[in-house]
Amino acid sequence: MTTWTITPEPHDSPLAAALWRTYYTEVSDRWYLLHEGRRTSTEELEREIAAESGAELAPPDSRLLVARCGGEPAGCVGVRLLDPGTAELKRVFLYEGMRGRGGAARLVRAAEEAARALGAARMVLDTRSDLVEARALYTRLGYRETAPHNDSPYAEHWFTKPLEPADGTGSGTEVWRTSA
């Protein structure tokens, strides 16, 4: 049995910084390889990581959640309120070796629970065309494509999902035991 846990994490912790660096390097390299045939330069990487500190995922109106599998860091997800009824899903990420074990769906569900606890009635997100795995995940979890909710230069697809009201039982820590 493998135990997955998903718990809140300070946006500025060393673990959050390591996850963000790995996430950003992967999605940035993927974009540059597709559009320019090269990887992200060190200068570009450092500039963008510094510009996106993760502060938008700090409480009280946001959360960064970290997944652990068997006690080891596995990935993260962020959720932030855009307005009192709308939360935005951010930075859904699993380390490459942790993929294919159901962790991404667990992360999204935990983010939905956090959004409900923040009072949101719907979740929105954006993603790129080349992130086909992410788009398939969101569709499988009940998200539907919708009109743009932002003007991000990297957003090519926007999704939304209504959230059922919180039942008040969410503890902020989610634990799943699975055989994997």
Torsion-angle region of 8 (φ positive above 0: left; ψ -120 to 50: alpha; else: beta): beta
So what's the pLDDT on residue 15? 95
In angstroms, the CA 59 to CA 10 distance is: 9
Over the chain, what HEC string results?
A: CEEEEEEECCCCCHHHHHHHHHHHHHHHHHHHHHHHCCCCCHHHHHHHHHHCCCHHHCCCCEEEEEEEECCEEEEEEEEEEEECCEEEEEEEEECHHHCCCCHHHHHHHHHHHHHHHCCCCEEEEEECCCCHHHHHHHHHCCCEECCCCCCCCCCCEEEEEECCCCCCCCCCCEEEEECC
Each of the 180 residues of the chain gets a pLDDT tens digit; together they read 678 999 999 999 999 999 999 998 998 898 899 889 999 999 988 888 888 888 899 999 999 999 999 899 999 999 999 999 999 999 999 999 999 888 999 999 999 999 999 999 999 999 999 999 999 999 999 999 999 999 988 899 999 999 987 665 444 555 544 333
Per-residue pLDDT, 50: 84
For the entire predicted model, the pTM comes to 0.87
